Structures are given as C-alpha cells and as structure tokens.
Amino acid sequence: MELYELSALELGKQIRAGVVTQDEAIAASAARIAAAQPDNNAFVTVADAPAPAAALDASPLAGVPMAYKDNICTRGVRTTCASKILGDFAPCYDATVAQRLSAAGAVSMGKLNMDEFAMGSTSETSFYGPVRNPWDLTRAPGGSSGGAAAAVAAGEVWYAIGSDTGGSIRQPAAYCGVTGMKPTYGTVSRYGLIAYASSLDQMGPIARSAADCAAVLDLIQGKDPRDGTSLDAPAGRLLSSLTGNVRGRKIGLPVDCFGEGLDSEVRAAVLAAADVLRAQGAVVEEFALPVMAYVVPAYYIIACAEASSNLSRFDGVKYGWRAEGYEDLGELYRKTRTEGFGAEVKRRILLGTFVLSSGYYDAYYKKALQVKAVIKGAFDEAFQRYDLLLTPVSPTTAPRLGESLSDPLKMYLSDIYTVSVNLAGLPGLSMPCGLDSNGLPIGAQLIGPALGDLAVLDAAHAYQQETDWHKRRPGGMSKGGDAQ
Amino acid sequence: MTWETVIGLETHVELATKTKIFCSCTTQFGGAPNTHCCPVCTGMPGALPVLNQQVVELAVKAGLALNCAITRSSRFDRKNYFYPDLPKAYQISQLYAPIARDGAVDIGEGKTIRIHEMHMEEDAGKLVHDPWLDQTRADYNRCGVPLIEIVTEPDFRSAEEVISYLEKLKETLQYLGVSDCKMQEGSLRCDVNLSVRPMGSQELGTRTEMKNLNSFKAISRAIQYEARRQIELIEEGKRVVQETRRWDENKDATYAMRSKENAQDYRYFPEPDIPPLELSEEYLERLRAQQPELAQAKRARYQADWGLPAYDTEMITSQKALADFFEAVVALGAAPKQAANWIMGEVLGALSAHGLEARDMALTPPTLARLIQLVMEGRLNRNTAVKVFEAVFETDGDVDEYVKAHGLEQVSDAGLVTQVVEQVLSANAKSVADYRAGKEKAFGFLVGQVMRALKGQASPAVVNRVLREKLQEHIEDPAIENSP
C-alpha cells in the first residue's frame, strides 16, 4: 500500500509506531505535490522546507503532512487569499488554528489555492490560476476551498484546513470525493482567518474520512480569548466519542432539497445513502422545509454586505500590493482596488455596498437578517423532531472549467443546499456517497443542531464503516510520486 | 427681531483604561509612532476585536452618573469610511443599541440638559504631515483607544450654558475616574451643533456642526461667532446651509468643511465580530453601589458638616484629587477651615506656579497636616510655615526636619518675648507716645520691631498680647514715660 492511501490517523499511527518516519511522510507528500501541482494547481505556495513536528507524541496526527487554505494567516509565510492585492503579504502572526495545529505536531506543506477571498464555488477566480479537479482535469474542484479538496483527493496531503462561508468546505469536498466538515459557528476560533463574511465564516477540516475530520477538530476547536465569537464548548472528545452506531437516530430528509434543479444521479445517490443509514437502524423520513426558497438571496445579501466592509482595509496603504502612478489619496485607493481585486470580488463588494447604503439598508440588509432569523427558527423546529438532516451538497457534480464564470447567478443558485447551514450557524458535513455516470464524485450532506457536531461526525463515521466511497481515488494518480 | 441660539453637543471622551478597547495594547499618550500597536489595532487581515470589559464598566459608570437608562442588551456597529488613519476602513461604534440613553445633567440655576444617548467606540490613529518631504505618515498608536461619545438634546441657549455643562461633565467624569478629560491631549473633544430661530419660535432652524474646538475658550468664541454669522445671513434674507464647519483658532472664524449633500454614507451595520453585550441587573447594581461621591454631594457635605463657605467648597472640589487631599488632611486632625485655607491659598498657588494638576503633585496629606498642626500649636508662625510649605512642596519633604535644620521653630516663650518688648519700648519712646495719643498705627510699628528683633520667629499672638500688656503698664507708670 502506498502512503497516500492511508488515512491521516493511520499515517499518524505508523509514524508513532516507527513503521514510517516523519521524514518519509514529508518526502512522500513533497513528491506528490511536485507531481500533481502542474496538473491541478492546488497550491499557491509550496513550503521549501516544511518544519517537522517537534514531538511525535503531541497528538494522533503529529508528523502528518497537511496544508492550509491561503486565507489562513501563517507567520512569515505569504498569505494571499488568492488575490493580487495580497500578493506579497506575509502575516506577522499565526492564526489560532495554525498555532494549535503546530503545537499538535502538524507539518505544513504550504498554502492552498482557492477562489479569490473565498468568493466563488469553483476555485477559478484565483489570481494564481484555476484549480483543476483531480478526477477530471477539465472540471472545477468546487470552491472556494478547491485547492484543499483537490490536494487531499490527489493524495498530496493527508488533510487540509479550509474555510466555509456558504459551503466552501463541503461543496469542493463533494466534487473531489473527500470528507469535509464545517463545524458549529464559534467552535473553531476565526482569529487569523482573513474574513469574507464574519458572521458566517468558519474553518474546518477536509480529509479522507469522518474519523480524520474528528481527529483534526479535536486539535483546533475550543474557546479562544482572541475571538469574541468563539464558544466555550467542550473540546477534544470527538474522535474518542465516535461509535459508528446510528441505531434509533432520527434523520429528516427535507423534501425541498430533493425537488426541481437537482440532478437525478445526485438525487439517487443521496437517497441511496439514506437507505444505508436506514439499514443501519436510523429512522429516516421526509419533511417539508419551505424556507429553502429564501436561503440563497438572504445569504448573498448578508455575505456581500459583510464582505464589502471586511475587504475595505485592502487599500494599498499599509500592506499588500499598491498600484503605481497615483496623484492623490483617492486615486491611490481607486487604482489599487480596481487593479488589485478580480471581477467576482468587485461584484460582491459592489453588491454589499449597495445593500448597506442609506435608503436600501431596510429593504435588503435588514430584511435578509430577518430571513436569517426565520431560517434559524425553521431549523430549530426541525431539530425538535430530528437528530440530523440529510441533503445533497450540491445540485450537480463538478462543472466544466469556465462554465460557471459566464453565469454567476447560476453559480450562486448552486449553493442552495449549503448556505442555510451557515445562516443558521449549524454543523454540516459532506461525505462521498457515489459516482455519477461520468465517474465524478457525489456528496451527501449531514446537518446537525448547533453543537451537534459529534452526532454529525458519528453518523458519517457509521456510513463510512458500511461503504467505501470515501476510499475511492481519482484515476490516473501516479504511483511514482511516493517515497521509495 | 430678537434671536434665540439653540445648541446641542457631541462630546468625545477618552476613557482612562490602561489598555485599548479591543486589544491589550497600552493607551498611554505619546510614545514613538507605531509602538503601541498589534495586529488587532492596526487592522491586520484576520485579526479580531475582543471587547475590553473595563471599557464597559467605565461607560456604565458614566451613564449612571449622567442619569441615563443603561441598555441591558447593547450592540456594536460598524461605521464604514476610507481614511488612512482608520486601518480597518471602519470604526467600531454603536448606532442601533448604544450603551446608555435618556440622561440628564443639572448645570445649576434650575437648568437641566437632557442626554440623548451615550455610546462606546474606538479612536482612530493620527496622520502627521511632513511638509519638508511632502509625505504624510500614519501613527496608529491612538487606534483603538476607547472613547465614549455623549450626545445631548438641543437644550443649550448660550455659550455660558455650554461651558457650565462641560465643566460639570468634566468634573463628573474625573470624579468617576472615567477619564482625565485633558483637552490639550485630546481626551475631551467637543463638536457643537448650532442653529438660531426667532425668540418664541418652537421650530428648530437649520443647524451647522462645528469641529476642531480644542478649548473652552474656543468653544465659547465659536458659538458666539457662528450664532452671529447665522443671524446675519437670515437678516440679509439668505439661508443657513446645513454643513460641517471648522473653527479656525487663529482667524477667529468658522469655515465650511462639507455640506449635507456631500455627507458620507457610513453604511452602518451590526458588527459581526462582537457578540451583543448583555448586562445583568446584578452587574448594574454592583456598579451603582460602587459609584463614588460626586463633587456636588461633597460640596453639600462640606457645608453641612464643616460649615465651609460655598466658595471654599467650589474651589476644593474643582479637582477630585484636591478634594481627596483635603479630606485626608482633615482626617489627620487639621481643622477643616484651616485645611481649606491652605489648599485654596498655598496648594493651588503652588500647583499653578508649577503648572501641575492636583493628582500629579508630590505633596502628601500628612505633610500638610503636620504643617497645619505646627501652626495651630503655635510652634510655627504662619508666614514661616508658608516658607516651609514652599520648601517641601515639590518633593514632599519632611516638615519637622526642615524646621529643625533651619532653626525656624517659633518663639512662644512669653518671658523671652517680654524681655524683647521692654527693650523695644525703651528704644521707641516716640511710638509709645503716639500709641498713647490714640495712633493705632504705632502699635503695628512696635510689633514689627519686636518681630524683627526675634528674627520673625515669634508667635504673633504672643507678641500682640505681651505688647498690649506692657503698653498698658507704661500708661499706668509715668516714671517710665519720663525716661529718655
């Protein structure tokens, strides 16, 4: 068996047992990155000399190579958000997540490509070129954490840390056939995550399995005094609490997530996943969740409004890229921002600026906040009856490169199943549940109540005990890349 | 026609916390540029604000003292605008749910000023222009220094009322320890909203807002200037334009900065990085119980308990440190009126001569109490005591040591005084005769002669008594009268 076929936990175990050395794992990762990067462009920055773990007993994942999405601050390592405007920005501090992982012996192999400022669903809006899906290089890996999902799918790293504002971990995980988890809002510190939409952003793992995700979350979750929105929730017990047993769990299927616009192969695969869980003893039933009709507009209004404010600091004054040839302050701002941001980022800044403007605030932003409250209420009500919800992650499998850029509205609408989870602040997980007729991965989404992260992971873990979709690898992966 | 001036104030007050509102950097004034900074207060990508609870406490104290209703669930909002002194390109402030509302300040003579609201916010940095290099440099030391902004209703009718209010406000906030209110360091800043209307009218005229008012004097002059300007405009048949105007200290005039049409749209929206601030009834009760005695209450108490004249109580309570000093001296045994006289005379005089505020002086209550005691016991003459005071003021020197070292202890030995008095009377027959002829002035001359012979160290009371007695004897003993 090649090293890249192991899960992160298996590799960690072998490193601790001395079966594989840390250096061998790092060399295997570096070799795979070197082989895959020209094809999939998953990395923006590849570490020249990855720092090995100081102590191999620091955690179950000590010594295991991983990587960060490039919107997570890493001290002294450039952090671009895949934007020209932050092209030379090297943070003076580590994100809390990076600090915690580094203390746990994580070995960072570099920084992962993404949609510019996490805005997009295909990882094509990167200033550093689009990411390609390892399953089919003519297709998008999804986004915005496309580099993270592609790198894990291609066996370049054993897990990655992504961020999810409206599905940016779950949807690329689905398109790339890996497992991705957006935890409950506030369980993972956002300190050091370059904000897109602060009230919706949350970091989380993309890995080979639900168990790997649980192991990573054990290391990164927990109260952070540097993030006022971080919760004082119990940390460090997910992995050891997994039972793989869903007997008696009540799982709801919102019929509104299985209707018009959903690809029939995706529908069939997700319903088949429901059957697997039912066969394992879960009680699965359909119910109506009509608020789904409002989630996309509410999401884009809130996310863009916050983004317009969050991205105002990129003005060329203090750090990052500055345009040349300005006569005065106004021109410095205008030229830097006009030339420094890509089209999708500018579109969202303009949208957000508009909905916050005097005279429009009540009609758009305030209304969207009201819708958000209604959505949260509808989910709260659903969780009175169900332990978990099961939905598709995305209406389709991975689109062809370039297809979505020409029709942004269609791209926005494809976020329908994931954005509600962010609006309600809930935990959501994407797990592979099949392949379509083109051989592309399909993802199923499990959603839990706030702080129900364990139940979500446990149901996915149970499913992954029964199925092997999460072990499928893209074809054509070079075996020559592994360490000898 | 007679005109009425209508004024409302917006006062920014820097809070006296050791650290900034959203990070742990020092709030100290001055310091080399950009040395009191961190990723949070310089708005680095990914950094997050965490609310300093000390700021909340001081704001609540101020709100309580201004008789406001404290908002139990208060929130922060973002005020968005581009300027190089504002590194995030938004200021975290409070618009929709400020910490306090609906207060009232009694400014004397039956006049009450209503407080519309009071909110917490962060200060911006400073831009320093270097005309030699034609460069503008940003100093972010002040970024994140906590402020409260206190907004009144348009209840003022004159500059005098405005100054009375500001003096009361300053006194109250200093007593609370909420702020040092140093206008010259910008820790108290004031914007004036002013309009005029025909006397008796109930409608408000068009107002202007004046900025850059750096002293009470500037505020007073600006109000007078601006009222006159508006009245002249209306009397000439012209219109007052709603705009922001800048006071120019050197030219004694206000100048238009920007009109309402060019007013910025700040696109306020709720700050997603800071959860709503929930204050419990117990918390408010605890702060209420901790409120110190304010100046007005002290003045009443000094008059009632110690019979001090109103004038004295005003002087002593003009600075909290002075009132505290006074109370400590009295507590050490000094007669209240004696202590008051020393404080109003020598202490205030020395403070003014050294350009100090009471809280900055080295002199301690035991030193002044000891000095007063020596005078009361007749061991030091009042004039000599003043010299001792001047000698010990700067370093809080030891009174007893100084008196001893300089041989200043006063002669209260009636025997020695009698001896000298007799010598003086013998040597000044003419004055004795004058005194007998009813010239009281001669008595003063004789006192002077005795004091001179005793090098000024005699107790004036003893000298007076002995001299009167001896003169009486002379009248009764003509034998002496005839002596040369």
Which residue of B262, B273, B274 is the best one to mutate when testing the A interface, meaning the one whose CB has the most A CBs within 10 A? B273
Give residue for tokens 């007593």: B175
Instruction: Provide the 10 A C-beta neighbour count for residue A434.
Output: 21
pLDDT in tens, A93-144: 999 999 999 999 999 999 999 999 999 999 999 999 999 999 999 999 999 9
pLDDT at A383: 98
The more confident residue out of B320 and B480 is B320
Instruction: Provide the 10 A C-beta neighbour count for residue A382.
Output: 20
pLDDT at A14: 97
pLDDT in tens, A207-251: 999 999 999 999 999 999 999 999 987 666 899 999 999 999 999
Average pLDDT, rounded, for chain B = 91
- Beta-sheet strand order (sheet of B243-248): B69-70, B100-106, B112-122, B146-152, B3-14, B188-198, B208-213, B243-248, B253-259
Type and span of the H or E element at A386: none
Query: Is pLDDT above 90 for A446?
Result: yes
A65-69 and A159-164 strand pairing: parallel
Which of A229, A315, A357 is nearest residue B267 as measured by Cβ atoms?
A357
Query: Is pLDDT above 70 for B343?
Result: yes
Contact call for A312 and B90, based on CB within 8 A: yes
Average pLDDT over residues B238-257: 89
Give the CATH number of domain B414-482: 1.10.10.410
Provide the residue ranges of all domains of chain B, joining segments of one domain with +. Answer: 3-282, 293-405, 414-482
pTM of the model: 0.88
d(CA A340, CA A343): 10
C-alpha neighbours within 13 Å on the C-beta side of residue A115 = 30
Report yes or no: B33 at the A interface, CB cutoff 8 Å: no
pLDDT at B412: 67
Q: What does the buried/exposed string (b/e) look like for A91-120 if buried means 16 or more CB atoms within 10 Å of the residue's CB?
A: bebbbbbbbbbbebbbbbbbbbbbbbbbbb
Give residue A226's identity as a one-letter amino acid code. Answer: R
Query: Is pLDDT above 80 for A164?
Result: yes
Contact call for B88 and A357, based on CB within 8 A: no
d(CA B111, CA B165): 10
For chain B, percent helix, then strand, then coil, each to nearest 5? 45, 20, 35
Q: Which residue of B has its CA nearest to A316?
A: B84
For residue A391, the SS3 value is: strand
Is A69 annotated as catalytic? yes
pLDDT at B434: 87
pLDDT at A477: 60
Type and span of the H or E element at B35: none
Burial of A235 (0-12, 13-18, 19+ CB in 10 A): middle
- Beta-sheet strand order (sheet of B90-93): B90-93, B77-80, B269-270
d(CA A446, CA A460): 8
Report yes or no: A79 at the B interface, CB cutoff 8 Å: yes
- What are the structural domains of chain A? 3-292+370-471 (3.90.1300.10)
Type and span of the H or E element at A233: none
Residue B148: which pLDDT band, with cuts at 50, 70 and 90? very high
Query: Is pLDDT above 90 for B29?
Result: no
* Tokens, residue B368: 């002044």
Average pLDDT over residues B298-321: 93
ipTM of the complex: 0.95
- Nearest CA among B161, B148, B177 for reference residue B220: B161
Instruction: Provide the 10 A C-beta neighbour count for residue B75.
Output: 17
CA-to-CA separations, B283 to B1, B53, B173, in angstroms, rounded: 53, 12, 20
Report yes or no: B34 at the A interface, CB cutoff 8 Å: no
d(CA B211, CA B206): 17
